[in-house]
Amino acid sequence: MEIFTNFPFWAAASAIFFAQFIKVPIHYLLTKETDWTLISSTGGMPSSHSAAVTSLATGVALEHGTGSTLFAISAVLAMIVMYDAKGIRRQAGEHAAVLNRLTADFEQIRKESKTWRQSQSKHEIKKLKELLGHKPIEVFFGGLTGVIWALILYTLLF
């Protein structure tokens, strides 16, 4: 099966795992706290989305050249994904933070109100995930991680 020898695919796929894994030691260096949940979470440093698409584009460039149509497609895809990671997904995370604050404030008002009608059912507050997107620096280092990762793999394998 050709998928097993497809270097750009494996460079991109492994870049995701590498970027997700190094979030833990980076977080530890910055906060002195170990948080293993970062391995499977969105957002944070570096962006695994950026690492994946830049690793893919680098792998395609190494195998097919920067003048190829495949490189053009993968480079444009990388630009779109990285723009989305720092833009739309980041804004969605900021909206979630505001909604979570509003929900917490509402719950506090409900608890403090003597005249508020209490229902028999339990009120369960579901927090929205706030860490969805990336800061520009996280996208930059995710992209850099992907390029370096693909170059290292290519050097080791070829």
The per-residue pLDDT for 6 is: 96
Q: What is the pLDDT along the chain (158 residues), one digit of tens a residue?
A: 898 999 999 999 999 999 999 999 999 999 999 999 889 887 788 999 999 999 999 999 999 999 999 999 999 999 999 988 877 766 776 777 777 788 877 777 777 775 555 554 555 666 656 555 677 888 889 999 999 999 999 999 88
Residue 67 CB contacts under 8 Å (≥ 6 apart), including other chains: none
What is the domain partition of the chain in residue ranges? 2-110+134-157
The per-residue pLDDT for 115 is: 59
Contact, 47 vs 143, CB < 8 A?
yes
Sequence-ordered alpha helix ranges (H) in 5-87? 7-31, 48-64, 69-86
Q: Tell me the C-alpha distance between 51 and 1, whole Å.
A: 25
Distances (CA, A) of 11 to 17, 50, 133, 155: 10, 13, 22, 12
pTM above 0.85, yes or no: no
Number of Cβ within a 10 Å radius of residue 150: 27
The per-residue pLDDT for 62 is: 97
